A and B are shown apart, each in its own frame.
Chain A
Amino acid sequence: MHALARTLLLMVVTLSFTVSAPSQSVAPQSREVNATGTIAGRVTVAGKPAANIPVAVMPDPQRTLQERYVGNSTTDADGHFQITHVPAGRFYVMAVAPVFYNEADGNNYPGGSAVTLADGETVGDLQIVLRRGGVITGRVTEETGRPLIQEHIYLYRVNPQGGRHEPFNRNYTIMQTDDRGVYRIYGLPPGRYLVSAGVPVNRGFAGMGRGNSYYPQTFYPGITDEAKASEVEVTEGSEATNIDIALGHAEKAYTVILHIVTADGSKPVAGVRCGYGSVDAGGRFMGATSIGPESNADGQCRMEGIVPGKYMAIVAMINPPGAWSGDGPPAPARLQAPDNYTYDPTPFEVTDSDVNDVEVKLRAGSSVSGTVVIEGMSEQEAATHFRELNLNVIVGAPVNVPRFNRPQINADGSFRIGGLGAGRARISASSFPRRNFRLLRVEREGADLSAGFDLAAGENLTGLRLIVGVGTGVIRGEVKVADGALPEGFHAFVTARRVGDGAPQNGFAQVDARGRFMLEDLLPGEYELTIAGWRSAKPVTKTVSVTNDNEAQVTIVLNQ
């Protein structure tokens, strides 16, 4: 799933409190029944053909948000699989066999083998090389020996180069203990691991509402100092048992009350959601944020179970102003149009007591408004595409405040984005499900504001024209080696940059094992392609010309 979609979805889940066990994707997808491509190959485990292994074709998450497999099949006794009715496009092919690991996946997201398929093409010899992963299992208890149930296990892969150990995540259901305190993590690639339970306070944790005590992170075999933790060795198919962790004393977590008030501090603001994010020593968000309760009629948000650390208060103005809704305070304390408000990031620190003096002042923000125009499209046609466009305004600030509202573009192309801070502002746009729309220029009264503009506090900058281009050009390419075939395990990626374009990159694709790649949704122009990631070659560049509705063919020869 695309990272943005995942974030938004997680947010939706958090905010609507609808987390639940059984669920499935519901966006109906029309199966492309006329697709005629085929992907076939063989799965081996430890060098031997592997039967009954499910293999699935997944659409490239770079291209689409689709959450269903394009097709799947199961290997026969000789390890062969064949998936038919695959349309042209970019895919990942993967064995759906979580007890195994695929060396070729490395740290690639989403894992699996990249395949670029032309219309009606057959790929007949895809090799998926699996090995049985290792298992780490043990039991988590508290001091008295009582098992800790539903305790999350944090696993870190020891960095052989030294430096910070990277968290190693799997589906959360296998990362937690059962009613006996037992956990069992499988499918692990060989390596050395640190195993821990308890709250990873030093790694930007932002949990909320877990009561007012917590167990500090404790590493196997019962050490809070990460540097002294015992490493657990995992080899192919190994099982490390009795990796038991006894958690020490529970520590106290604290309550933080945010006071949400109007700009002059005179009135409380009810009905906005409060949260916080953990920040590093430099005051930057460490990624983990938590959105909690709504401010009450006194403008107070009570956030509980916060472990000691440095944080930044967050306010999410996500609720519509209440007509009488019965599930929030009556109207007077509510803002009439909360998305028009902004605030300065408010840092706070939790050390050894509750915190009750964090005041967040909401003030009318600046706004930008204007019209979106899609180049070369009639107004009627453009109107049907506006919902695929996502506008974003970044206003330079010491700390970026996350926004939770998606600005709407009206059918006539008009838009207004309020609740902005003051400073150097820059507008960007992205498009979904395809990335075929690009913001080309931002204009106002003939001036080009694409590179950014200054926005004063409370200013309402009107009359912006956002010119959006449509890219339907395609580059289909093949990578070859000067003298002969591509080496076994060939792995590379291609990036495309449009000449004269300010963006650092205008396209990205994996090169598949056959050397094929495809770049889509390209605006017309000259493109500079760079092949990289192949260990034994220096980056190679090549220039290609692209027009809309056409496919440019390119062959790139690498010198050994």
Chain B
Amino acid sequence: MKNAFAIGLMLLLLGASAIAQTTAAAKSDKRAGTISGRLTDTSGQPLPHALVYVTGASSLRRETRNTSTDEQGRFRVTDLARGVYNVWPGVPGYVTVEGETARRTYRAGDTANFTLTKGGVITGTVTTPTNEPLTGCGVQAIRVRDKDGHAVTISRSSGFASTDDRGVYRIYGLLSGTYVVFASGKRAYMNEASIYENDMPTYYPSSTRDTTQPISVQAGEEASGIDIRYRGERGHAISGKLAGVPADINMGVSLELYNVASRAMEAQGFAGNNFPGSSIADGYAFYGVADGDYLVTATTNSFNSSFRGSGRAYVKVRGADVTGIDLPLTAYGSIAGTLLIEPVRSAEGQNKCEIKRRLMPDEMLVAVRPEKQAAEFHPYATGVRNDAPSDKGEFAFTGLEAGQYRVLPAMLGEDYFVRSMTLPAPAKNQPPVDAARSPLTIKAGERLGELTVTVAEGAAALRGRVVPATEGARLPDRLRVHLVPAEKEAAGDVLRYGEARVAADGAFTFQNLAPGRYLIIARPSADDDTSDEAPPPVAWNAAARATLLKQAAAANLTLDLQPCQRLTDYALKYTPPAPLPVRKKNP
């Protein structure tokens, strides 16, 4: 996922690697949009009669328009309102060739083609300690590394299968990567009694999580003979109450158990008032838990509940049951605001600026990204969520846990850049508060409702190549190009900073840049680059920003970008900058 990165161009956060394939001009008819495309496999063969999910990306218009492909693998959804849609092929057993980074959001009018490939397969047997086949045993494969060997930040259960009468299981449709495989005996449905309920999971080949042998599998390939000897050792229970919720309200709570070491979700459960005789007051319990560090999370279901919120607790299991782990539920907060589009300022545009495709606010996206909590593992601390604004630009994110968030406009097309993000001035005669410089802090239940995101026409782009200062020299790994505002008064404007990863051949790309004067510098990234998650931009950290500014000023390479300018073939000579203090990555 580490391709072009420029603040304001947050497409990478949305898993998109390309600029919108927009062809049609914005239509005035609000109901005339079509999204069409084709599903093919890697040999170019069509995938017929396959489900394609098409859902409105706006929280105000979650219109579902799922469809199927025809004999030629084509699909076409017509009569769509203008706006952004999530489009995703639902072909069992298949994955997109780009894996999780495949683009998922499209505008009405776009073409959405997907190339799919058979997912990877892990297969083997599960036998009892007496070497008999174990039937009806659940086996899970959890992805721990992606195809590039980066640690997967959050590993939800990646694949599940039950053993048959011969003890054979077959998990399919897996993304390329490295998996840990375990048999747990627990059944695939909710609340079904299992005689294995108290058993700890047995990891491949017959071990605990710490000593398991990970399995690497590529899409289209099969890892066979992954045979597990089931141990059936008794695990421990984690139990407690749900606190902070009125007991008489009709609601349910979903519970998840995460292994902190592997970040894998090991079990899920449910507690609720939704059926007679069951009550939130009864609390929750997980059984068959091995020694280790765990996180238990509780989130309310949206089903019929007037209270929505979540809670979590960190639990150490050391050789005994753990009771009294109460989960205090706190109400969700929200962030809402308006996305405004500003025309080219006459001074900048000078009538030379040609806008390739004008976009309306509902044709863009706003994303919200939790600021990572350094100290503790939390599965929701990495998820990026999107909302497509309404035609008036209104957007909203509900269901936010208390914490810090960055708001990131996206799907800006070629012609737009983020001018500003502001909150209302705290008092009269004061300027609005710059909401881009630091993350927004949301307290439990807080509703932040007046964020203004201003996107402007006339974005510039820069494409170029880093070349070694001395011919034949090698460029360092993990090189990044940074753009830094050259105007002194803009030094604190985080939106004016840009950051792009340099490809192996030295190429780099910036898009959605504000016109203006920049300092440009290439330098190695301080990040260890072992996680699948893109590191936060350097400019988000005030100290790192100041260092970058100093180094860029010392290098003293400037360039001017005019509104709508597309600067290409820019050659940037690389000379190692003065040493930087090493920025530690979050553990």
Contacts and interface: CB of A to CB of B under 8 A. Distances in A.
B277 A432 contact: yes
A108 interface: no
Interface residues on B, range: 35 or more
A69 interface: yes
B292 to A, nearest CB: 16
Given A25-B197, A150-B92, A405 B250 contact: yes
A173 B192 contact: no
A22 B266 contact: yes
Contacts of B70: 213
Given A186-B165, A326-B59, A405 B277 contact: no
A99 B165 contact: yes
Contact of B303 (A54, A213, A318, A324): A318
A161 interface: no
Contacts of A98: 135-136, 165
B51 to A, nearest CB: 4
Contacts of A135: 165
Nearest to A51: B130
B328 interface: no
A22 B66 contact: no
Residue of B52, B62, B66, B396 contacting most chain A CB atoms (<10 Å): B66
Contact of B162 (A142, A173, A320, A324): A173
Contacts of B269: 23-26
Interface stretch (A41-49, A204-212, A453-461, A478-486): A204-212
Contact of B192 (A1, A187, A324, A325): A1
Contact of B286 (A26, A178, A213, A327): A26
B194 interface: yes
Contacts of A15: 301-304
Contact of B396 (A26, A326, A430): A326
A240 to B, nearest CB: 13
A65 B278 contact: yes
A174 B162 contact: yes
A302 B63 contact: yes
Interface residues of A, number: 82
Interface stretch (B181-189, B559-567, B578-586): B181-189
B248 A408 contact: yes
Interface in A1-51: 1, 4-5, 8-9, 12-13, 15-16, 18, 20-28, 51
Interface string B57-98: 001111111111010000000000000000000111110000
A197 to B, nearest CB: 13
Contacts of A390: 276
A293 interface: yes
B265 A22 contact: yes
B276 A388 contact: yes
A246 interface: no
Contact of A25 (B90, B193, B283): B193
Contacts of B277: 65, 387-388, 431-433
B49 interface: yes
A13 B190 contact: yes
A304 interface: yes
Given A16-B252, A179-B93, A327 B304 contact: no
Nearest to A432: B277
A27 B136 contact: no
Contact of B191 (A67, A69, A305): A67
A211 B121 contact: no
Contacts of B273: 387
Nearest to A183: B164
A69 B194 CA distance: 7
Interface in A424-459: 430-433
A97 B132 CA distance: 12
Contacts of A18: 254, 268, 270, 301
Contacts of B161: 173
B274 interface: yes
A271 to B, nearest CB: 11
A211 B138 contact: no
A111 interface: no
Interface string A55-92: 01010000001011100100000000000000000000
A135 B285 CA distance: 37
A326 B336 CA distance: 8
B274 A12 contact: yes
Interface in B254-281: 254-255, 265-279
Interface in A367-413: 387-390, 404-406, 408
A250 B398 CA distance: 40
B314 interface: no
B303 A12 contact: yes
Contact of B157 (A21, A25, A65): A21
Contact of A96 (B68, B195, B274, B306): B195
A27 B49 contact: no
Given A25-B269, A432-B277, A326 B334 contact: yes
Nearest to A187: B165
Given A186-B165, A326-B59, A388-B276, A209 B66 contact: yes
B275 A327 contact: no
Nearest to B168: A184
A213 B190 CA distance: 30
A24 B267 contact: yes
Given A69-B195, A405-B250, A179 B172 contact: yes
A319 interface: yes
B303 to A, nearest CB: 5
A68 B49 CA distance: 41
B268 A28 contact: no
Given A20-B157, A304-B64, A186 B164 contact: yes
Given A22-B268, A24-B186, A179-B121, A211 B304 contact: no
B157 A22 contact: yes
Given A18-B254, A150-B93, A173 B49 contact: no
B540 interface: no
Interface string A296-330: 11000010110000000000001110001111011
A220 interface: no
Contact of B189 (A23, A149, A433): A23
A52 interface: yes
A560 interface: no
A215 interface: yes
Contacts of A325: 398
Contacts of A210: 51, 66, 68
Nearest to A321: B306
B373 interface: no
A171 interface: yes
Contacts of A4: 275-276
B128 interface: yes
Given A18-B270, A171-B187, A179-B172, 15 more contacts: A1-B192, A9-B270, A12-B270, A15-B301, A21-B138, A27-B285, A65-B275, A69-B195, A178-B172, A211-B68, A253-B68, A319-B304, A387-B273, A406-B276, A433-B277
Interface of B: 48-52, 59-68, 70, 90-94, 118-119, 121, 128, 130, 132, 135-136, 138, 140, 157, 160-162, 164-165, 170, 172-173, 184, 186-195, 197, 237, 239, 248, 250, 252, 254-255, 265-279, 282-288, 301-306, 334, 336, 396-399, 447
Give me the 5 closest cross-chain CB pairs, A-B, nearest first: A432-B277, A211-B68, A26-B269, A326-B396, A21-B160
Interface of A: 1, 4-5, 8-9, 12-13, 15-16, 18, 20-28, 51-52, 54, 56, 58, 65, 67-69, 72, 96-99, 135, 142, 149-150, 171-174, 178-179, 184, 186-187, 209-213, 215, 250, 253, 293-294, 296-297, 302, 304-305, 318-320, 324-327, 329-330, 387-390, 404-406, 408, 430-433
24 contacts: A8-B274, A12-B270, A12-B303, A16-B301, A22-B268, A23-B186, A24-B267, A25-B197, A28-B282, A178-B170, A179-B170, A186-B164, A186-B165, A211-B67, A211-B68, A213-B49, A213-B70, A302-B63, A320-B305, A387-B273, A388-B276, A408-B248, A431-B276, A432-B275
